[in-house]
Amino acid sequence: MSEQNVHPGMNLGYDGGEEEAEVKIFGFWAFVMSDLVTFGLVFAIFGTMAGSTAGGPGPEEVTDLTSVAIQTVLLLGSSFGFSWASLSMKYHPKSRWRTLGWLAVAATSALGFLVLEVVDFHHWTTIGAVPQRSGYLSALWALVGLHGLHVAGGLIWMAAMTGQILVFGLTDDIKSRVTRMGLYWHFLDVVWVGIFSMVFLAGVA
Amino acid sequence: MSLKQKLLLDSKNAEEAAERRFYTIGLVLSIVLTVASFASVMTGLLPHGWALPALALLALAQIVVHLRIFLHIDLTRQKREDLQLLLFTILLLGMMAFGTLWIMADLEARMM
C-alpha cells in the first residue's frame, strides 16, 4: 500500500496499526453517512417548504449574499487549513507545533464563519424572520442551524484534539483521531456547498 | 531558517509536495466552482430559468471535487468500501428525499 493511497495523516509507527486505523475510519464513515441522511432529509423538508412563506419574510429578505460568500470562503479555508494540518501530522510528526498551527488556522477560520452566521441569525430576528413565522422560516432555521451546530461541535472537538496533542504529542492514537475529525470537517464543507447553492443562491435566483 | 520553513510551508519530500499540489488543485477548483455559482445568480447573465439547473450542476461538481480531493474517495481497491457505503447512502437518501418531495408536491397540487 503506497502512502498516497492511505488516508492523510496516517503514517503510523507500528505494523498492523494502519489496518486497525482503517477499520476505525470506515466505522466513522458509517457515522458520517448517517449524518448525511439526517441533513438530506432536512434538505427535503426545506424543499417542501421553499414556497411557504405565509406572507412573511422570504428568501429575498433573509439572503445577504455578501455574508454568505464570505462564510463560504471561511469554511473552505478552514477545510483547506485542516488538510494542511493532516499533511503536517503525516510528514512532520516530530514538530507538534506545526500541526497545531494549521489546526489553529482551521479553527480561527471556522470561528469567523460562525460569528458571521450568528450575525445573520440576529439580523433575521430583527426583521421578524423567526422560525415560528412560516414553514419556510422553520425549515430554513432548522437546516442552517443544524449545520451551524455541527460546526460549533467541530470547534469543541478541535479544542479537545489540541489539548490531547499538547498532552500526549502526535502518537498513533492521536493521529487516528485527528484523521477521523478531518472526515467530519470536510463533510461539513460538502453540506455547506448544498446550503449555499440550494438554499441561498437558488432562493434569490 | 528559510521563509518557507518559518511559514511552515516547506515540504519534506516529493511525496508531500505531490499531496500539497493535489489539495491546492482541490482548493482552486472549489473556488472556481463557487465563484461560478455566485456569478450565475449575481450577474444575471444567464437566461431566465437557467440559473437553477446551473446551480445544481455546479454544486454537484463541487461536491465531487470535495469527495475526491478532501475526503479521498477514489476507485482504488482499499477505498471501494467507502465508495460503496457512500453510494448506498445516496440511494437510500434519494428514495426518501425524492419521495418526500414528490408526495408533498402531489398533495399540494391536489389541494389547489
Q: Domains of chain B: which residue ranges?
A: 1-72, 76-112
Q: What angle do CA A8, A151, A3 make, to 5 degrees?
A: 5
Which cell numbers in the block locate residue A40?
438530506
Average pLDDT, chain A: 91
Question: Whats the size of chain A, residue-wise?
Answer: 205
Confidence of residue A77 (pLDDT cuts 50, 70, 90): very high
- Domain of A191, CATH number, reads 1.20.120.80
Q: Which of residues 91-110 of B touch A (CB under 8 A)?
A: 92-93, 96-98, 100-101, 104-105
Confidence of residue A10 (pLDDT cuts 50, 70, 90): low
Task: Return d(Cα A48, Cα A45) in angstroms, integer.
Answer: 5
ipTM: 0.88
- pLDDT at A51 exceeding the cut of 90: no
Amino acid at A66: T
User: Which of A99-108, A187-196, B67-76 is the least confident region?
Assistant: B67-76
Question: Quick check: A144 and A199 in contact, CB under 8 A?
Answer: yes
Of A101, A102, A205, which is closest to B52 when you measure between CB atoms?
A205
Question: Quick check: A170 and A96 in contact, CB under 8 A?
Answer: yes
User: Which of A12-21, A149-158, B103-112 is the least confident region?
Assistant: A12-21
Model pLDDT for residues A105-125, shown as the tens digit of each residue: 999 999 999 999 999 999 999
First to last CA, chain A: 47
Taking CA atoms, B29 is separated from A31, B64, B107, in Å, by 27, 11, 40
Of A5, A6, A198, which is closest to B59 when you measure between CB atoms?
A198
Best of A1, A67, A197 to disrupt the B interface by mutation (most B CBs within 10 Å)?
Answer: A197
CA distance A44 to chain B (A): 5
Question: How much is the average pLDDT of A75-81?
Answer: 96
Model pLDDT for residues A129-141, shown as the tens digit of each residue: 999 999 999 999 9
- pLDDT at B77 exceeding the cut of 80: no
CA distance A126 to chain B (A): 25
Report the 10 Å Cβ neighbour count for B92. 14
Task: Return d(Cα B51, Cα B48) in angstroms, integer.
Answer: 7
Which cell numbers in the block locate residue A134?
412560516
Which cell numbers in the block locate residue B84?
460503496
Question: How much is the average pLDDT of B9-25?
Answer: 84
- pLDDT at A4 exceeding the cut of 50: no
Is A6 a member of any domain? Answer: no
Kindly state whether B18 is in contact with chain A, defined as any CB-CB distance less than 8 angstroms: yes
A72:B27 CB<8 A: no
Task: Return d(Cα A180, Cα A69) in angstroms, integer.
Answer: 28
Backbone region of residue A9 per phi and psi (left: phi > 0; alpha: psi in -120 to 50; beta: other values): left
pLDDT of residue A2: 41
Question: How much is the average pLDDT of B41-69?
Answer: 91
Best of B6, B66, B71 to disrupt the A interface by mutation (most A CBs within 10 Å)?
Answer: B71
- Residues in CB range of A60: below 8 A, 6 or more apart: A203, A204
Nearest residue in A to B12, CA atom? A91
Confidence of residue B7 (pLDDT cuts 50, 70, 90): low
Model pLDDT for residues A89-104, shown as the tens digit of each residue: 988 888 899 999 999 9
pLDDT of residue A19: 77
If you search the block for the grid coordinates 488543485, which residue do you land on? B25
* Total count of domains within chain A: 1
Nearest residue in A to B27, CA atom? A80
Is A146 a member of any domain? Answer: yes
Within 13 A of B64's CA, how many CA atoms are on the CB side? 8
Is A8 a member of any domain? Answer: no
Find the domain containing A37 and state its range.
17-204
User: Which of A45-49, A56-60, B10-14 is the least confident region?
Assistant: B10-14
If you search the block for the grid coordinates 466505522, which residue do you land on? A27
